[in-house]
Structure 1
Amino acid sequence: MLSKVISAVCLTLWVSHCAVSAAEDPFMTKALKLMSETPLIDGHNDLPWQLRKQFNNQLNVVDLNTLNTTHTNIPKIKQGKLGAQFWSAYVPCDTQYKDAVRQTLEQIDVVHRMCEKYPDNFMFATSAQDIRTAFSQNKTASLIGVEGGHSIDSSLGTLRTMYQLGVRYLTLTHSCNTPWADNWLVDEGSDPSEHNGLSQFGKQVVMEMNRLGMLIDLAHVTVKVMNQVLDMSEAPVIFSHSSAYSICKHARNVPSPKIVNVPLEKTTKIFTFEKLKSREKKGIVMVNFYNDYVTCSKTANISDVADHFDHIKKVAGADIIGFGGDYDGVTRLPEGLEDVSKVPNVVAELLRRGWTDEEVNAALGNNLLRVFTDAEEVRDKLTNKKPDDVPIPYAEVNKNSCRTSHGYPDDVTGAASSLSTLALQLTLALQGLLLLSAL
């Protein structure tokens, strides 16, 4: 009870402070007004991972009203006027071939439990209409995005199950290749390309996501994958938390229409915003606030972040821009954007730079609502298409020694079994030789 009283007092003091600040700054006054009319939809927040790291997902021992070791808590969400949030169901790459599915399910579970524990603040959402409904009720619509294709363990059945649990986007890779897609580190030159972008199974994943109505997130993939997906996907795509490469030349950012040099292959690859903004499948780039992606250095400020918004608007228009702060997933944030409560500062800066109300509303949430609605329309159009049940070839996943081969043809599993038997025989023979030498 005391904690709620303290939170209420803090919120009242902050509102009073904002009223004074707004009176002094007409751009902030306008920003807060627009944010009360159009939901701010953020593409990526790692609070669930912080709950895992700090509390092992024991939500019963956490009070999100008073939690002060994260960028995100309920008072900060209210202060930042966060209308909708894609919470990241993220687990690290070291879970690949191990327990990635279980750990991802636990992250999905913690988001559901957040909504159940704080029903006055959060509303679980799975559709564009749910976002609008939550906003009308002054609640933060809570959606789930799975960050990293390793979380589905190369299984379309797992992908579908996660959709049924409320997952509405999948980031195709994180910072590791999957058995079917290359990650952004390939473009940086620190990882080898294994699939020249997407494998055949990777293309199946993309098409099955279209059929489900699950958004395809390209935030962590190679330029090659970006282009392949944009060529294939019937639905718009998202970059849930990426900034502009032309402003900060980091491989995690989205390249402009200009040629991008890829050190690994010593060739050029081209990514064009023309594909991203094409009329029939216009996507969205949700700007990341991480200093390293904003200025390619350890420091940044609000103006630096606004430069990314300005650049994307200049080359592709205001109708493909959104917010993807990456709060609680990064270690360095710009001065003036230290936590989720500070996001209105970006909105005020855009207005100060001459952005129109319509452009700001588009970036706040209207662009994402359009993308989400378009993906739902593609899903509805494909309603008679059967689920894809062709599995990934066993040879592409049998590097996992713990993976069984039930359901695969005997000749495939037999060959794998023979190789395993041969390896075992060689190991035993070597052990025998070592034993003899010891004697």
Structure 2
Amino acid sequence: MIPTRPLRRSALLLVLAALAPASVPAARADDGIPPVSERAKAVQASGLLWDGHNDLPWRLRSEGDMALTKFDLSKRLDSGQTDIPRLREGGVKAQFWSVYIPSEHANPAKTVVEQIDLVHRLVAKYPKDLELALTADDVERIVKGGKIASLIGMEGGIAIEDDLAMLRAFHGLGARYMTLTHNSTLSWADAANDRPKHGGLTPFGERVVREMNRLGMLVDISHVSVATMDDALRVSKAPVIASHSSAFALCPSPRNVPDEILLRVKQNGGVVMVNFYSNFIVADAAKKVKAAREAVLARYADEAAGKKALEAWYRTEGKTLARGTIKDVADHIDHIAKVAGIDHVGIGSDFDGITRWPVGLDDVSCYPRLTDELLRRGYSEDDVHKVLGLNILRVFREAGDVATRLQAEVAPEVDEIKPEPHDD
């Protein structure tokens, strides 16, 4: 376990307390959830809330707003789960914006460049509220200045197109974590929701992890198979993250993290950031999804046809599955804290990327409700601050420290390229 830096943490919390707004909005009157306590409001406002995964960039793309002219994010919107007023209401101080790429996309690298460009333009459009962060020091500086530290997380290693030079290029553009796979197995890593082909990481996949360590890019084990998680933890010299995954022991979805991996994450010094998607926090929902998936795989030999059939199931029967609650999310935090330790759990909501969120956690304004639930369960204020953001701050800083050391010791991973003649 990597120790926290108490003096730095205390200084940050003191500044956050001074910047805290006078109040946090109370609960909505129509959902039956009690108003947020004054204590929770104060704890929320004075802490660092750093969410590990938000899909706003893809929502903007999918709704035709690449130019950032359709939605005014400085105003509270009637659609979606994210805008600046609601981020402020929810007490969000730092956010990993996901630059997601579908696994079957024809031009993955080009699309991710476009999504990274979108995030840069998004931050530039709202300079009073957002600022790009590349380091842990940046996060602390930006938050102390009253803005929301905005970081870029790549979702899906397909974007590098089996090229370590491309990985370095994405890091140069500002990406600070990469989810090794999305839902489909790659040529170098097995995914959680696809048939395994490699038994985890291939030798090239191990090189990807090593180069991410050297760059200071967090290795994200959400979406990957358990074998890939195991391999990534074996290879990585820096703490890893699961940016938006929950506890398998409570909800047996392949997207969640089993206890044996939670113990490895503890040894590694990493953090598992709990996803709010109902199918990842409600056991009955996960079991029904598993049964449907197995039935589809048994019925269709063709993978593409099987995926279409499963998508059709999600659009019909999938909509009837039970929704989670704030208590379900807190249960997953409890479990990860019990198995891995309080220093190894965080928040990765997946807002604007999920279709079925917990009752009462409707959007980014609702985090104080979760803070209230943790305090009711007996969490100390210090431990709540760890869960909300200090754990991922520690991990990000340690990954940067590892990168500084490796860059002095290890050359970049480079593939030999056959010389090509130059035409005059």
Query: How would you bin the TM-score normalised by the shorter chain?
Result: 0.7 to 0.9
Corresponding position of 2:357: 333
Q: Deviations over 1:238-297 (max 9, x none)?
A: 00000011111110001013xxxxxxxxxxxxx3x332112xx30000000000101042
Q: What does residue range 190-339 of structure 1 map to in structure 2 within 5 Å?
A: 191-257=194-260, 271=261, 273-278=262-267, 281-296=268-283, 297=285, 298=321, 299-339=323-363
Q: Deviations over 1:172-212 (max 9, x none)?
A: 00001111111002xxxxx3322111111101000000000
Contact kept, 8 Å, 1:51 with 1:58, in 2: the verdict is: no
Q: How many residues align?
A: 357
Corresponding position of 1:184: 192
Does the residue aligned with 2:331 lie in a helix, a strand or coil? helix
Corresponding position of 2:149: 141
Does the residue aligned with 2:413 lie in a helix, a strand or coil? coil
2:103 pairs with 1:93: yes
Does the residue aligned with 2:104 lie in a helix, a strand or coil? helix
Q: What does residue range 396-415 of structure 1 map to in structure 2 within 5 Å?
A: 407-408=417-418
The alpha-carbon deviation at position 91 of structure 1 amounts to 1.5
Structure 2 segments unaligned to the other structure (5+ residues):
1-21, 286-320
> Aligned partners of 1:29, 1:323: CA distance in 2, in Å?
22
The alpha-carbon deviation at position 408 of structure 1 amounts to 4.4
> Aligned partners of 1:360, 1:31: CA distance in 2, in Å?
10
> Aligned partners of 1:55, 1:161: CA distance in 2, in Å?
26
Q: What does residue range 353-364 of structure 1 map to in structure 2 within 5 Å?
A: 353-364=377-388
Contact kept, 8 Å, 1:47 with 1:88, in 2: the verdict is: yes
2:93 pairs with 1:83: yes
Q: What does residue range 106-121 of structure 1 map to in structure 2 within 5 Å?
A: 106-121=114-129
Which amino acid in 2 is paired with 1:195?
A: H
> Aligned partners of 1:171, 1:113: CA distance in 2, in Å?
23
Contact kept, 8 Å, 1:46 with 1:88, in 2: the verdict is: yes
The alpha-carbon deviation at position 32 of structure 1 amounts to 2.2
Change in 2 beyond 3 A, CA 1:16/1:233: closer
The alpha-carbon deviation at position 60 of structure 1 amounts to 2.7
Does the residue aligned with 1:60 lie in a helix, a strand or coil? coil
Contact kept, 8 Å, 2:65 with 2:71, in 1: the verdict is: no
Contact kept, 8 Å, 1:242 with 1:288, in 2: the verdict is: yes
The alpha-carbon deviation at position 94 of structure 1 amounts to 1.7
The alpha-carbon deviation at position 313 of structure 1 amounts to 1.3
Structure 1 segments unaligned to the other structure (5+ residues):
1-13, 186-190, 258-270, 392-406, 411-439
Contact kept, 8 Å, 2:97 with 2:153, in 1: the verdict is: yes
Q: What does residue range 24-35 of structure 1 map to in structure 2 within 5 Å?
A: 28-35=37-44
> Aligned partners of 2:202, 2:28: CA distance in 1, in Å?
56
Corresponding position of 2:160: 152
Corresponding position of 2:10: none
Change in 2 beyond 3 A, CA 1:16/1:368: closer
Which amino acid in 2 is paired with 1:163?
A: H
Which amino acid in 1 is paired with 2:71?
A: V
Correspondence for 2:66 among 36, 54, 57: 57
The alpha-carbon deviation at position 35 of structure 1 amounts to 2.5
Does the residue aligned with 2:154 lie in a helix, a strand or coil? strand
TM-score, length of structure 2 as denominator length: 0.81
> Aligned partners of 1:300, 1:25: CA distance in 2, in Å?
17
Contact kept, 8 Å, 1:27 with 1:351, in 2: the verdict is: no
Contact kept, 8 Å, 1:248 with 1:293, in 2: the verdict is: yes
The alpha-carbon deviation at position 365 of structure 1 amounts to 0.9
> Aligned partners of 1:158, 1:348: CA distance in 2, in Å?
43
The alpha-carbon deviation at position 65 of structure 1 amounts to 2.4
Change in 2 beyond 3 A, CA 1:248/1:81: same
Q: Deviations over 1:283-319 (max 9, x none)?
A: 0000000001010423111111111011111112111
The alpha-carbon deviation at position 93 of structure 1 amounts to 1.1
> Aligned partners of 2:251, 2:34: CA distance in 1, in Å?
30
Which amino acid in 2 is paired with 1:221?
A: V
Contact kept, 8 Å, 1:44 with 1:241, in 2: the verdict is: yes
Q: Deviations over 1:390-432 (max 9, x none)?
A: 26xxxxxxxxxxxxxxx4489xxxxxxxxxxxxxxxxxxxxxx
Correspondence for 1:378 among 397, 402, 412: 402
Contact kept, 8 Å, 1:294 with 1:308, in 2: the verdict is: yes
The alpha-carbon deviation at position 15 of structure 1 amounts to 5.1
The alpha-carbon deviation at position 26 of structure 1 amounts to 9.5
The alpha-carbon deviation at position 16 of structure 1 amounts to 7.9
Does the residue aligned with 1:104 lie in a helix, a strand or coil? helix
The alpha-carbon deviation at position 68 of structure 1 amounts to 2.5
2:97 pairs with 1:73: no
TM-score, length of structure 1 as denominator length: 0.78
> Aligned partners of 1:183, 1:50: CA distance in 2, in Å?
23
Q: Which moved more, 1:33-42 or 1:75-84?
A: 33-42
Corresponding position of 1:41: 50
2:102 pairs with 1:102: no
Q: Percent identity over the alignment?
A: 44
Which amino acid in 2 is paired with 1:129?
A: D
Contact kept, 8 Å, 2:181 with 2:224, in 1: the verdict is: yes
Change in 2 beyond 3 A, CA 1:346/1:122: same
RMSD (Å), alpha carbons: 2.1
Correspondence for 1:168 among 172, 176, 186: 176
> Aligned partners of 2:252, 2:28: CA distance in 1, in Å?
39
> Aligned partners of 1:333, 1:20: CA distance in 2, in Å?
16
The alpha-carbon deviation at position 30 of structure 1 amounts to 2.0
Correspondence for 2:414 among 389, 395, 402: 389
